Amino acid sequence: QQQVKQSPQSLIVQKGGIPIINCAYENTAFDYFPWYQQFPGKGPALLIAIRPDVSEKKEGRFTISFNKSAKQFSLHIMDSQPGDSATYFCAASQGGSEKLVFGKGTKLTVNP
């Protein structure tokens, strides 16, 4: 059972475009939603995270939008650059647990 569903599986945009990656969850006990970025041969690195008491969080060019009623959240990358080409994972955890449940990932390619 996949607890966090991520889409699309892959995404290609031109430099300067705004890729959007979506995630949906079923477990209403989830209360922490991070996004990780992974380059080939490296471990994932935390990009940005949100709690469900806010609908949007922005850090630099990265924005999380959160829709609690729809149980969905998304990552937007403003003014994307070729260096943003990586695999992006959404994840979730619930209070009292240190375990993160990850989506399957989205491979983003930003063409120059």
Query: Could you say whether residue 105 binds other proteins (CB under 8 A)?
Result: yes
Please list, residue by residue across 55-90, b when 16 or more beta carbons sit within 10 angstroms of its beta carbon and e when fewer do. Answer: eebeeeebbbbbeeeebebbbbbeebeeebbbbbbb
Query: Could you say whether residue 99 binds other proteins (CB under 8 A)?
Result: yes
Phi, psi angles (nearest 5°) of residue 83: -70, -10
Shortest Å distance, C-beta 16 to other proteins: 28
Indicate the residue among 13 and 101 with the shorter CB distance to other proteins. 101
Query: Could you say whether residue 27 binds other proteins (CB under 8 A)?
Result: no
End-to-end CA distance of the chain: 38
CA angle at residue 78 from 32 to 15, to 5 degrees? 135
Query: Could you say whether residue 3 binds other proteins (CB under 8 A)?
Result: no
Q: Which helix (H) or strand (E) holds 10?
A: strand 10-14
* The one segment of 14-22, 35-43, 56-64, 68-76 that binds other proteins by CB under 8 A: 35-43
Indicate the residue among 99 and 112 with the shorter CB distance to other proteins. 99
Per CB under 8 A, residues contacting other proteins are: 6, 32, 34, 36, 41-46, 49, 51, 89, 91, 93, 97-105
